[in-house]
Each structure stands twice: as C-alpha cells, then as structure tokens.
C-alpha cells in the first residue's frame, strides 16, 4: 500500500465498486483517456446538457487538466457539470457509481462495469487502417480495448462497415452480449451543425488565423504500435515547412495531429503557430476547413460530409501497408494520392479542378460510409441509450452456439501446446465458439505457437491485475504460497475475488464450459474452479504424482503449484486425463483429491494432415563435402555465406531419433547411456535428440564422457522436426512418465518404427503392436535398439482418422457433456482398434 500507487488505486476502486450504489442520473464522459473534452462523447454531452428533458442529470467529465481548455471554461460555472482527473479518487468513485459511462476509447484496466451501470463506447472513427487482431506487430496490442468492448452495453458506429470491423477484429462475433448501433456518429453532427464564425473566433485565440483566407488542414495519423508510438515529429516539421513555403494564395495552413502523437510536438516552438491543441474538437475544426490533407487517418471519412477536397499524402505507403495493414484499397479513395510534397503542392493549387474528377468515388464513399450523417445522429443515439427506443439499426451479434473458454498454458514448446493446437484445429465451430485466454506478453516462441491456432479461435489476453480488497489480497497470496492441502483453509478461499476477476476480464460474455487445459498454473485453476461457470473441466497431461516429485537442479519444479491445484480438483465437474492408464494412475495416487465419479480420460487429438504436410515440406538442404545439411539459419555478408545446419542421415548408417524437452522426466540421460552401449558394438549407429531444456549442458557433457559426442546430434528446437524424423530409421522415447505422448502419435503418422519405455502413457498408444515397449531402464532401451538392428521389431499400421474421430467423440462426451453415440467398431478394444484390420 505504501510503495505501489497502482495497488492503492485498485484497493480504492474495489472499495467503491463494492460499497457505492449506482446513481441513476449521473453520466461520466471520457475521451482519449482524459486528454480532451471532444469527439462523440462531447457531442452527446452538448445535447444532453442543453436538453430540458435531462435537466436533472449530473455530467462528470474525466479531464486531466482544464487549464487553457476553452471547452472546459465554457462549463466551469455550470452546477451540473464537474471535472475530475483520471485515476483520482473522485474519478474512481464516479467510475464505480455513475449509471452512464460514455467513452470513445477505453477505461483503465482496473475498470469493470457493475450491475446497474450502462457503458456506451462510441469508438473514434471509420477504420481505413487495421484494428485489433488484424494489426501487424505484437500479439494482444488491443487487449484492453477488447476487454472494454466486452463490458459495453452499446457500441456506437457510423456505418455497418465499421460495426463489422470492430466486432470481427476484436473477436466479439457470436459472444458479445451488448447492442451494436449504426445510426451515424454523434461527432459528425458537430461538423454539420457548427457555427462557423464562432469556431473561427475560437481558433483565432489558439493559433494565428487570417479570417479572410481559406484553411488547409494537415492531419496525419500516428505510426508504430498501440503501446509504442513512433515519434514522427521531424517528418511533420519538414512537411509543414515545405507546405508553408508554397501554399497557394488565399490559403493558410493548420496542423492537427493524432492524440497519440500530440505529446511529441505540443511544446515545439516551430509548430506552435499552426498546431491546433489536442483538446480542440476535430469535428468542429473540420467545419471551417476548406482542404484536408491526410494519410491513413479516419478523419477523411468525417470530412466527406463537407463535400470539399481531400488530398492523401502517403509518402510511406508501401511501408505502412506492410507494417500496419489497411482494410480499403487505396486506389478507390475519394481524392488524389501523393507520394511526395511536390505532388501535394500541385494538388493544393488545383484542388477545385481535381474535385470533379473524384466525384463518383466521393459520392460512393458518402453513400457507404456516411449514410446516416444528417445532423441528427446524436439525437437518435441518445433516444436509444436513454429511452431504449431501439431502431432497425440496432442489432446483436450473439449466436446460439455454446461458448467454451480455455487456458492452454502459455503456448510454450511442449506437448500441452501441441495437444491444444491439434484440439482447436479439429473442433466443430458450427456448434461452439472457442475462446482462448492467455497472458498478455509473448516471446517469439509463444507467438509462433499462438499463431498456429485455427483462425476461428477467438483470442483474449489478460491485462491488468485483480481488483481486490486488502483481506482478499492477503488470502489469495497466502493460498498461492501455502497451498490448500489443509482442508480447514478452504473456508478462506476468496471466491468473490475470483468471480470479480472473471467479470473484469470478460465483462458480459457468458461461458458454458471452461477448460483449464494446462492444469499446472494455480491462478487460472482458481479462476476456473470458483468462477460462475456452468461446467468446469481441468486436464491432467501426465502422471501428476510423478510431476509433484520431479526435481530440476535439486528443486521441486511443480510441488508448490500442485499443493494448491490438487485440493481444488473437487470443485471441477470433470478431471480429464489424456489416457486410460494415466487416469487410473492419477486416481490411485491422488485418490484423496479426485472424486472417482469425476475422473475421466480423453485422448489427445492429432493433426495428421499437418504432420504429413510438414514431412513433405522441403526445407533448405545444403551439400558440403558429399554430406547434406538441413539449414537452420544463414546469412550472407560480403560474398561469404555463414549458416548453421544439421547433418542429415547418411547412407549406410542407422539413425535413431528422440524428441522432447531436455528435462528429467524425459530422461535422455538414460537414452544416451543405452546408445553408447549400442555404439560400442555397432559403429554405424547415430542418435538425433530434438529439443531444448535445462539439462542440455549436462547431456552434452555426458556424451563427451561416454565418447559418443560425434555420434549424438543435439538439434535444438526445430520449427519443423518431421522432415528430419521421417528420414531417420527408428523413433525412441526414454521417458519415465508421460500422460499420452504426442510425439508417439506423430511418429505413428510419419510411419517410423517406434521403441518406448513401458510406462502408462506410452502403453496406451503402443499396445497391440504399434511399437516396441521395453523395460524402463538402460538395459530395456539397449534391448529395444538391438531388436531393431536385428530387424525384429513388428509394427502395425495406425488408422489415424478413426483415432481422431474417437478422440473428438471423447472430448464432446466427457468435456462438453454431450451425448455422443459411440461407433460400434470403437467398442472392440481401447486403443487396439486403431489399426488397419486388413493389414
């Protein structure tokens, strides 16, 4: 509380959220995070504050400073208008108690709408450039926007095109519970209904304006990413300088930059004479503009209603299209596109001549993007929001599919990630809306894995921290640190905290089924166990007692987490293991925690088409001294090629291959020792080990000690391991425990012979002749490799299509609670039926 401002703010907001009653006639307005009193919230405010029907309402503006703000000055003496700073105590109170919340961007991550509040988001423009998940750059840039939208009761749009883009780009289709409105933008009324003389007089108090001259406005958008705005001040300065020197007679130049860019130039002396302050409403300004120069900004859509010339200055068109992306073809824009300043100057001088040339495109854009901009959009939107007079242009996007929420474990390079990707690539999206919730920050590995998900998956990203009381925070941290193995502690579980967090993250979105597909992360296990969901499921991807006892660097890796997760199994409707043997082991070892009737098993799904396509994918090979290498990465500098490559299998040699994390449970140490014994007798054998992990240095050191460093190849992590695996002779798994090893299923798809230690997870796949199960020891692996070298391994063909159908049937039945008819063929045995009976 003393050292963390953010924590103090959360504590205060939570107190107000829980204690204050909603005040029916209070409206909180916010635009651009409190930077200004502008845009559609301002248009709505101007109507309401002057309308006798709403005389009894109090209007609260979130405004970080009123100093020098002519808009705020106009209302300073109004008894029913109050200004508060964002994050201030008063702001927190009104955010928690005002019935109506009206914003054109987002409220902070700690905000969550409470029962009785009505949240209206007006957004701030028709999108030319991409939004949300469609934006290039880092994953989840839009996370707080998406979260805010999930809380809204109304999303206001100028046209159906914008409504579609907002919904789709923020993964709201099918799950959003609010109302979409497309009755026109209130802010455009500020342009159409403006008193132009009054606006010019107001502008003359801010910048040098000659009232006898026409106005050219240069209004560029911002560059970069949402949380990393590029400083383009120097570029803007140069453009203004060149335009200023060659501006046509009878015109004057003004500058209005995007609010995200304003902080970089607001104190620049070279621009102060032409730069309009950030707090000035852009739409009121547009009412006195005679020529607009812009780039990729949505400002031009609003300006269309003036029917005056628009010039598009896109000096970085190729770069911008590549780095940000656009929704609309630029060659269809209602004005000339200029690549350099000379073209802009020419278009300025000939603006009236150019305008008729673009008349058809101009009218087409007005019809498509401004169909309701008639000066009365504010009135219609206000009647919808405050009087519930819904029109034909109000609609919902919620569908009748069941909503499933999954947490998949961070999308690290492991079997859980592979299993999750395969499952989500196989599910029936005609019946379900699938939402994956994950962390907010991604490295290259988790980004790559996240991007492998089926495009139908809706991706949400956690932002901010839990809204908590002091007592709840103490209880939560105590449970995280101490666990719940003591039954008496269960009465202290802060269930309200976890329900509140679910609501903060997902707003009004409702989920029928939640799946903790990871089963290793206490935070998500707690949220899913105690959230108000209809059906709750948690997965066990391994022998969980063995995981509990696993040590890495002399420390128990999972013990602390499992001390909390094991005791809350009972709060889930189903505890799903990934194989029958694994379920039986977990039931036996954890019978204290797993109610027998809740234990079930569901086989991992596979993606055979993807595996086969990767086998056939021809990665770059390079031949050096009669030996082929799989090129990992390469660079060319000054005519010199430098590359890292993996030696491909050689003719006349036998190549075993292993894939998995380099960690204790995979036990590549045992495999290397066994291989060294084989290599003593058979000089022609080689071993590939694919993967990375904490034991890499130790394992490489072991190969040196055993004298097989030239016969064991550590490849590291491979984005496509299957081209290498398919050219090897035999797959070998040395694990001490597994749930249901994905690598064995993938090896079966590849069609390579398999040797594995006889552990429950592997036995569930390889029993009935799919591979060689050997004693879980060095001697057992030696025996298995000897049998292969003597051509004594018998394998049977794997019917992966039948397997996948049954795995999906299990998922629908056990996880989703559906009544799924079993295929009569599948009742013959457990996994033994997944062979071609004709072979």
The pLDDT tens digits of the residues spanning 678-699 come to 999 999 999 999 999 999 999 9
Residue 823 has pLDDT above 50, yes or no: no
User: Which of 624-628, 662-666, 804-808 has the weakest average pLDDT?
Assistant: 624-628
Average pLDDT of span 620-645 = 78
Does residue 115 carry a pLDDT above 70? Answer: yes
CATH code of the domain covering residue 666? 3.40.50.2000
Query: Same structural domain for residues 332 and 408?
Result: no
149: confidence class by pLDDT, cuts 50, 70, 90:
very high
How much is the average pLDDT of 752-776?
Answer: 94
What interhelical angle do 89-97 and 5-19 show, nearest 10? 40
What number is the average pLDDT over the span 786-805? 92
Instruction: Name the pairing type of β-strands 640-647 and 654-659.
Output: unpaired
With 0-12 CB in 10 A as exposed, 13-18 as middle and 19+ as buried, what is 441?
middle
Range of 210-219, 569-578, 815-824 with top mean pLDDT: 569-578
Share of the chain above pLDDT 70, in %: 95
Reference 373, options 523, 554, 187, 629; nearest CA is 187
d(CA 700, CA 695): 9
Based on the fold, state whether residues 322 and 423 are members of the same structural domain: no
- Which residue, among 520, 515, 546, has the nearest Cα to 420 in the 3D structure? 515
Q: What pLDDT, on a 0 to 100 scale, did the predictor assign at position 428?
A: 95
163-167, 254-258, 800-804, range with the lowest pLDDT: 254-258
Residues 328 and 301 in one domain: yes
What are the residue ranges of helices labelled H in 26-65?
Answer: 39-50
Whether 16 and 155 share a structural domain: yes
Task: Identify the CATH number of the domain in which residue 228 sits.
Answer: 3.40.50.12580
Which pair of structure tokens corresponds to residue 441? 């920050």
Lowest-pLDDT range, 316-320, 521-525, 796-800? Answer: 316-320
- Predicted confidence band of residue 830 (pLDDT cuts 50, 70, 90): very low
Half-sphere CA count of 434, side-chain side, radius 13 A: 23
Residue 824 has what pLDDT? 35
Residue 17 clears pLDDT 80, i.e. is over it: yes
Separation between Cα atoms, residue 314 and residue 295, nearest integer Å:
5
Provide the 3-class DSSP secondary structure of residue 215.
strand
Among residues 436, 438, 441, 494, which one has the least CA distance to residue 467? 494
Q: Residue 827 pLDDT > 50, yes or no?
A: no
Which residues touch 473 (CB under 8 Å, ≥6 apart)? Answer: 11, 466
What is residue 361's predicted lDDT score, i.e. its pLDDT? Answer: 95
603 has pLDDT over 70: yes
**Structure confidence at residue 834 (pLDDT):** 44
pLDDT at 137 over 50: yes
Q: What is the CATH number of the domain that holds 591?
A: 3.40.50.11930
CA–centroid distance for 468 within its chain: 25
List strands edge to edge, sheet with 214-219: 251-255, 214-219, 291-294, 310-313, 337-338
pLDDT digit string (tens) for 315-361? 888 888 888 889 999 989 999 999 999 999 999 988 888 888 999 99
Contact criterion met (CB below 8 Å) for 459 and 499 = no
Is the model more confident about 274 or about 195? Answer: 195
Distance CA 222, CA 258 (A): 6
pLDDT at 232: 66
633: pLDDT confidence band, cut at 50, 70 and 90? confident
The answer to whether residue 812 sits within a structural domain is no
pLDDT(831) > 70: no
Q: What is the mean pLDDT of residues 435-448?
A: 89
What is d(CA 433, CA 504) in angstroms, rounded to the nearest whole number? 20
Q: Note down the domain range covering 348.
A: 196-368
102: enclosing H helix or E strand = strand 98-103
Domain CATH code at residue 25: 3.40.50.11820
For residues 415 and 553, membership in a common domain is answered with yes
In contact, 452 and 419? CB cutoff 8 Å: no
Residue 508 lies in a domain: yes
- Is 464 within the bounds of a domain? yes
Residue 516 lies in a domain: yes
**What dihedral do alpha carbons 545, 546, 552, 553 form, nearest 10°?**
90
- Report, as an integer, the average pLDDT of 386-392: 96
Confidence of residue 268 (pLDDT cuts 50, 70, 90): low
Query: 464-478 pLDDT, tens per residue?
Result: 999 999 999 999 999
Q: What does the pLDDT read at residue 440?
A: 77
Region 725-736: mean pLDDT is 97
pLDDT of residue 279 exceeding 70: yes
> Is the per-residue pLDDT at 226 higher than 60?
no
Q: What is the pLDDT of residue 833?
A: 39
- The 3-class SS string of 504-536 reads HHHCCCCCCEEEECCCCCHHHHHHHHHCCCCEE
State the pLDDT at residue 299.
Answer: 95
Label residue 25 exposed, middle or buried (CB < 10 Å: 0-12, 13-18, 19+).
Answer: middle
State which of 262-271, 335-344, 517-526 shows the largest mean pLDDT.
517-526
Of 563, 583, 601, the position where a domain reaches its end is 601
CA 592/CA 542 separation, integer angstroms: 18
Task: Say if residue 107 is in the same domain as residue 233.
Answer: no
- Spatial CA neighbour of 324 closest among 127, 547, 42: 127
Q: How far apart are CA 637 and CA 641, in angstroms?
A: 7
Q: Based on the domain organization, do 165 and 213 belong to the same domain?
A: no
- What pLDDT score does 224 carry? 61
Residue with tokens 């005040």: 23
State the DSSP H helix or E strand holding residue 657, giving kind and residue range, or none if neither: strand 654-659
Q: What is the pLDDT of residue 264?
A: 65
Residues 56 and 125 in one domain: yes
pLDDT tens by residue, 783-795 = 999 999 999 998 8
Answer whether residue 821 shows pLDDT above 60: no
Give the per-residue pLDDT at 705: 97
pLDDT at 750: 95
- Give strand pairing partners of 103: 30, 121
**Residue 240 has which token pair?**
């203004």
Residue 818 lies in a domain: no
Q: What mean pLDDT, rounded, does the chain reach? A: 92
In a domain, 641, yes or no: no
Is the same domain home to 471 and 593?
yes
Domain count of the fold of the chain: 4
439 assigned to some structural domain: yes
Whether 439 and 568 map to the same domain: the answer is yes
Closest CA to 751 of 785, 795, 691: 795
Domain end among 395, 410, 433:
395
Class of residue 285 by CB neighbours under 10 A (exposed 0-12, middle 13-18, buried 19+): buried
Residue 803 has pLDDT above 90, yes or no: yes
Q: Which of 534, 569, 601 is the last residue of a domain?
A: 601
My answer on whether 446 and 316 are in the same domain is no
Q: What does pTM read for this prediction?
A: 0.89
Average pLDDT over residues 173-194: 97
Band of residue 837 on the pLDDT scale cut at 50, 70, 90:
very low
Do 44 and 136 lie in one domain? The reply is yes
- 610: helix, strand or coil: helix
Measure Cα distances from 48 to 80, 94, 548 in Å. Answer: 11, 18, 61
Mean predicted confidence (pLDDT) in 621-645: 79
189 — phi, psi (to 5°)?
-60, -30
Give yes or no for residue 832 having a pLDDT over 60. Answer: no
pLDDT score of 825 more than 50? no
What average pLDDT does this structure show over 448-476?
96
**pLDDT category of residue 68 using cuts at 50, 70 and 90:** confident
**Is 806 part of a structural domain of the chain?**
no
């Amino acid at each position: 509380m003393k050292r963390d401002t953010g924590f103090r703010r959360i504590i205060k907001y939570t107190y107000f959220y829980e204690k204050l009653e909603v005040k029916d006639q209070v409206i909180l307005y916010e635009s651009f995070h409190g930077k200004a009193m502008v845009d559609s919230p301002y248009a709505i405010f101007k109507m309401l504050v002057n309308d006798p029907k709403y005389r009894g309402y109090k209007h609260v503006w979130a405004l970080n400073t009123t100093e020098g703000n002519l808009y705020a000055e106009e209302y300073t003496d109004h008894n029913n208008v109050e200004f508060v700073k964002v994050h201030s105590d008063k702001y927190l109170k009104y955010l928690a108690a005002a019935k109506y919340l009206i914003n054109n961007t987002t409220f902070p991550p700690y905000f969550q709408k409470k029962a009785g509040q009505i949240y209206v988001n007006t957004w701030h423009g028709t999108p030319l450039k991409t939004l949300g998940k469609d934006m290039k750059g880092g994953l989840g840039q839009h996370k707080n926007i998406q979260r805010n939208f999930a809380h809204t009761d109304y999303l206001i749009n100028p046209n159906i095109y914008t409504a579609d883009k907002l919904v789709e780009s923020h993964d709201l289709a099918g799950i959003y519970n609010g109302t979409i409105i497309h009755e026109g933008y209130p802010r455009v009324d500020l342009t159409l209904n403006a008193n132009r003389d009054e606006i010019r007089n107001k502008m003359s108090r801010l910048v040098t304006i000659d009232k006898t001259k026409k106005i050219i406005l240069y209004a560029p958008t911002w560059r970069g990413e949402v949380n990393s705005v590029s400083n383009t001040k120097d570029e803007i300065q140069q453009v203004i300088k060149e335009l200023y020197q060659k501006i046509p007679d009878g015109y004057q130049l003004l500058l209005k930059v995007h609010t995200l860019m304003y902080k970089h130039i607001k104190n620049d002396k070279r621009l102060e004479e032409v730069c309009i302050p950030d707090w000035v409403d852009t739409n009121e300004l547009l009412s006195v503009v005679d020529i607009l120069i812009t780039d990729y900004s949505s400002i031009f859509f609003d300006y269309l209603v003036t029917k005056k010339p628009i010039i598009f200055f896109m000096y970085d068109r190729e770069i911008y299209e590549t780095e940000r992306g656009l929704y609309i073809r630029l060659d269809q824009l209602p004005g000339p596109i200029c690549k350099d300043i000379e073209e802009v100057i020419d278009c300025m001088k000939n603006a009236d001549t150019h305008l008729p040339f673009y008349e058809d495109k101009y009218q087409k854009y007005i019809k498509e993007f401004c169909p309701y901009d008639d000066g009365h959009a504010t009135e219609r939107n206000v009647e919808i929001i405050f009087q519930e007079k819904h029109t034909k242009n109000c609609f919902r996007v919620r569908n009748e599919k069941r909503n499933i929420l999954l947490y998949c474990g961070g999308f690290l390079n492991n079997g859980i990630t592979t299993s999750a990707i395969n499952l989500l690539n196989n599910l029936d999206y005609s019946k379900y809306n699938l939402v994956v919730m994950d962390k907010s920050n991604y490295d290259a590995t988790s980004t790559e894995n996240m991007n492998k998900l089926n495009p139908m998956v809706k991706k949400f990203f956690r932002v901010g921290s839990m809204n908590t009381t002091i007592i709840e925070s103490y209880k939560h941290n105590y449970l995280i640190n101490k666990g719940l193995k003591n039954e008496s502690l269960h009465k202290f579980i802060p269930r309200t905290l976890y329900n509140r967090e679910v609501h903060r993250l997902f707003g009004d979105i409702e989920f029928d089924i939640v799946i903790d597909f990871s089963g290793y992360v206490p935070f998500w296990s707690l949220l899913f166990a105690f959230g108000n969901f209809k059906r709750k499921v948690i997965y066990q991807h391994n022998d969980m007692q063995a995981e509990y006892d696993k040590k890495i660097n002399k420390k128990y890796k999972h013990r602390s987490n499992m001390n909390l997760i094991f005791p809350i199994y009972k709060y889930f409707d189903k505890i799903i293991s990934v194989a029958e043997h694994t379920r039986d082991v977990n039931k036996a070892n954890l019978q204290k925690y797993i109610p027998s009737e809740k234990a079930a098993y569901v086989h991992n799904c596979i993606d055979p088409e993807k595996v086969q396509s990767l086998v056939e994918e021809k990665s770059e090979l390079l031949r050096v001294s009669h030996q082929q290498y799989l090129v990992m990465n390469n660079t060319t500098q000054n005519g010199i090629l430098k590359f890292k490559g993996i030696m491909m299998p050689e003719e006349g040699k036998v190549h075993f291959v292993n894939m998995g994390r380099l960690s204790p449970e995979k036990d590549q140490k045992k495999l290397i020792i066994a291989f060294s014994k084989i290599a003593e007798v058979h000089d022609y054998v080689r071993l590939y080990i694919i993967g990375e992990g904490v034991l890499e240095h130790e394992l490489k050191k072991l190969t040196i000690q055993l004298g097989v460093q030239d016969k064991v190849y550590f490849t590291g992590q491979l984005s496509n391991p299957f081209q290498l695996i398919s050219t090897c002779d035999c797959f070998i798994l040395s694990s001490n425990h597994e749930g249901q090893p994905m690598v064995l299923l993938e090896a079966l798809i590849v069609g390579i012979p398999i040797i594995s230690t006889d552990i429950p997870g592997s036995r569930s796949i390889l029993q009935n002749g799919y591979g060689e199960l050997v004693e879980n020891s060095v001697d057992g692996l030696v025996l298995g490799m000897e049998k292969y070298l003597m051509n004594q391994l018998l394998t049977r063909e794997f019917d992966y299509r039948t397997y996948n159908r049954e795995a999906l049937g299990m998922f629908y039945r056990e996880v989703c609670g559906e009544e799924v008819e079993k295929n009569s063929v599948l009742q013959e045995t457990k996994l033994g039926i997944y062979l071609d009976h004709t072979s």
